[in-house]
A and B are shown apart, each in its own frame.
Chain A
């Protein structure tokens, strides 16, 4: 019982979408496959297989490619050759060519998986030109006319049988892709699409995911092409033309590029209208050019976007209206330090936390660990960084224990963010080593440091737009780095990650905001969400880059209390311009100047230091003599 629940998940979306496609498709295919209307719909469904993959790849994960029509051609010509020339049954040819296309996509994707999305987009822009140029003169593939098939998809089957088979394939594709999008892997892919750096900082293996995405989109395009061949029984070279690619993109954009169901309906709708109207099919370039521009301008999410915004407008009048309430008067109330304030003894607090959450238990155990304040966690030895001839950091040595707050200040351009980047793994040092818990991590990328407990926030808030607060935090709780994309289709670990994220949010007093979209939050709340995300992975080392910038005096005070509590359970390296804040909470303060460490001391020493005063004077009122005691 519980096993079945886990497999099907709690999200009904994929099942409903699949059921809709299956029922609607079977009614049409079963009822009118022999009519002109039926044949247009079945042709449209072959395109829908391709656009469903595009919705995941191009829309949802923002991996822009222009190679779908070419892979469609691979599938169609592959089946045509294996069936028409070699004599295999079409269905067997379809299976073989679809699997083989995965290998082709792997080779192409591998070549580019280290580079940015721009390179993949540009390279694939040329694919339709290459493929069409080749096919037009390739006599063994029928040249500019094309290739015929001898057998339909369902061996010897009627139009109805082939139609039903097509509908079943489309439904299976819809089921797989909608489940993938709704899974933990889906969340990784979405994050990757929004920001590669953020994804890496959350442990996502970005080049692997990009490769898998490219293979997924290509394999589905090939499958669509193979079904096309098996139902249309003739494959023309125009299938791979750049205009064919445009048509596919139109279907995707009009239907809704981020929605699988939207993409399927877009394919059926566009194909239907071009099929029934001669005027439309003659002026297709003109119409498609205008249509894609209008969709981009008016509703980037196409028809699916219009439907969902109508739904959102209608939702407040429905019974669950409280989910869409506003947070105008929201004041964060950190739950982290509450135990101490209320005077609860350590033991009692632990007992209470046992009942509440694993998250709290983890931090309670860390707080109770006496040795943590002295055991070395991070060691930076002789780290230097230069860009060309410009020395940004020179010979930095730094040792931090497992617990406490350590401030890093200095004038602009002193190298603070660079040092943070070197510890976090986004910047490679020119010399020196970084050691975390005894392990040399100098060569490890950011994603692998995340696995080892290094977590960070960014100077400019980097939340994942378009997702809820809960999902933004859940990204840090996925632990799916080693999973393949296919696992996301079978089992989603998102519910568990969301449960973990919820604990982290409640820990920071942000529980009520879990279902809000992050774009609607104030800057303070966004910073708190980012902090929650950094804490949610239960880091041993937390890197904070100017968490107080842009916050008001009162907001800073709340942040200070929160940081103080976090410092009792984990090691915090804090870059901050607010010297007041830093002097109040940091156990030790380090001052960087022109890339060198010029001061190390406690808050008291920091306030009274002549050097610090002269370096940072004017940066904060506390550096005046009045701040001394």
Chain B
């Protein structure tokens, strides 16, 4: 029973990791940049909505709309100002420094903003689907927020597979990842997809943050760890196979929940990160991390 409930809560967190893994992987293929700020967008979503509702007494729906609008505007401006300057100029900045440091800085910038606007306490967006946790029989329970998270993750997953497999736009995104300059030569505007996918990732992350926060709560610095875990899940899939990324994300979520339930509540995250770091160090080839960003 305890095991079953832990697995359920693991699936909820895991589906977020899985979705983030897909976002990180897809955008890495288009831009050669790892989005280390994706978790911070989730944090902004949760704390932003909470702040508007709790402090400014907005209704929930306009608060969510305003937060999503602000995040997409922010993501658009970031792409237009920072990423354009970095990649679209006469000399395209490349290499491992670019791969990591732009979004590393963005992540801390967002944390700084959140600290300034929302303080350092734990908060959560109001629950969208109110009520007791749902009973699945046999003593198993699932939070209503958890159901929403998993449902949204499944929806996003199905939609992205349909778009990538079935549309010309999807093929173009794949082509960008395959060969940046090749895609450009045949008339695919990488910049457009870079911007589009970046804004989309930010929005998706934001929605996940809003949906999930009633379960765990967020602080201004919750984002980095989520981004990192999502990224590791993406790496397990070698940045190529969305299906494997989903499995990896779910497994990581479940392992995290089990560690928290059976080993140590205090050290669950720490042990998880240690396991992941060890996996990366010992089997980098199995994780698509032996490829060098060109």
A residues near B (Cβ < 8 Å) are 62, 64, 108, 111-112, 114-119, 121-127, 129-130, 133-134, 137, 196, 242-243, 246, 249, 253, 257, 283-290, 292-293, 296-297, 300
Contacts and interface: CB of A to CB of B under 8 A. Distances in A.
Interface string B251-284: 0000000000000001101100110110011101
Contacts of B267: 133-134, 137
Given A121-B96, A126-B277, A129-B269, A116 B290 contact: yes
B98 A296 contact: yes
Contacts of A108: 281
B281 A289 contact: no
B102 A296 contact: yes
A116 B228 contact: no
Contacts of A293: 82, 102, 105-106, 109
B109 A289 contact: yes
B231 interface: yes
Given A116-B289, A292-B105, A130 B274 contact: yes
Contacts of B113: 286
A390 to B, nearest CB: 18
Contacts of B274: 126, 130
Interface residues of B, number: 51
Nearest to A118: B289
B284 A119 contact: yes
B112 A284 contact: yes
Q: Which 10 A-B pairs have the closest CB atoms?
A: A289-B109, A286-B112, A285-B112, A133-B270, A119-B284, A115-B284, A119-B289, A292-B105, A123-B280, A111-B281
Contacts of B181: none
A283 B100 CA distance: 23
Given A64-B96, A127-B277, A289-B110, 15 more contacts: A111-B281, A114-B284, A116-B284, A117-B96, A122-B232, A124-B277, A125-B36, A129-B224, A196-B292, A253-B101, A288-B112, A289-B112, A292-B101, A292-B105, A297-B86
Given A122-B231, A126-B276, A246 B108 contact: yes
Given A127-B277, A283-B112, A289-B112, A242 B270 contact: no
B186 interface: no
Nearest to B276: A126
B277 A287 contact: no
Nearest to A245: B104
Contact of B228 (A64, A114, A129, A134): A129
Given A115-B284, A285-B112, A286-B112, A62 B95 contact: yes
B282 A111 contact: yes
Contacts of A292: 101, 104-105
Given A64-B100, A115-B289, A129-B225, A289 B277 contact: no
Nearest to B265: A137
B108 A288 contact: yes
Nearest to B293: A118
Given A108-B281, A137-B267, A129 B273 contact: yes
A68 to B, nearest CB: 13
B109 A119 contact: no
B207 interface: no
**Interface SS, A side:** helix
A253 B108 CA distance: 15
Contacts of B96: 62, 64, 117-118, 121
Interface string B102-134: 101111111111011000000000000000000
A66 B292 CA distance: 18
Contacts of B280: 112, 119, 122-123, 126
Given A126-B273, A134-B270, A116 B100 contact: no
A373 B96 CA distance: 47
B100 A121 contact: yes
Contacts of B106: 289, 293
A342 B208 CA distance: 79
A99 B82 CA distance: 42
Contacts of B292: 116-118, 196
Contacts of B182: none
Nearest to B84: A297
B264 to A, nearest CB: 9
B101 A137 contact: no
Contacts of A118: 96, 99, 284, 289-293
A396 to B, nearest CB: 28
A116 B238 CA distance: 14
A296 B86 CA distance: 8
B85 interface: yes
Nearest to A115: B284
Nearest to A297: B85
A471 B150 CA distance: 57
Contacts of B147: none
B285 interface: yes
A65 to B, nearest CB: 10
B97 A64 contact: yes
Contacts of A196: 292
Contacts of B36: 125
B200 interface: no
Given A292-B101, A293-B82, A286 B109 contact: yes
Name the residue among A118, A130, A249, A300 with the largest chain B CB count within 10 angstroms: A118
A289 B266 CA distance: 30
A243 B108 contact: yes
A115 B285 contact: yes
B197 interface: no
Contacts of A133: 267, 269-270, 273
Contacts of A126: 228, 273-274, 276-277, 280
A284 B105 CA distance: 12
A257 B224 CA distance: 24
Contacts of A123: 277, 280-281
B53 interface: no
7 contacts: A133-B273, A246-B105, A249-B101, A286-B116, A288-B105, A289-B108, A296-B97
Nearest to B110: A289
B43 interface: no
Contacts of B277: 123-124, 126-127, 130
B276 A285 contact: no
Nearest to B282: A111
Tell which of B82, B269, B273 has the most Cβ of chain A within 10 Å. B273
Nearest to A243: B108
Contacts of A296: 86, 93, 97-98, 101-102, 105
B235 interface: yes
B20 to A, nearest CB: 15
B287 interface: yes
A119 B290 contact: yes
Nearest to B115: A285
Contact of A119 (B86, B102, B116, B281): B281
A412 to B, nearest CB: 16
A129 B277 CA distance: 11
A145 to B, nearest CB: 16
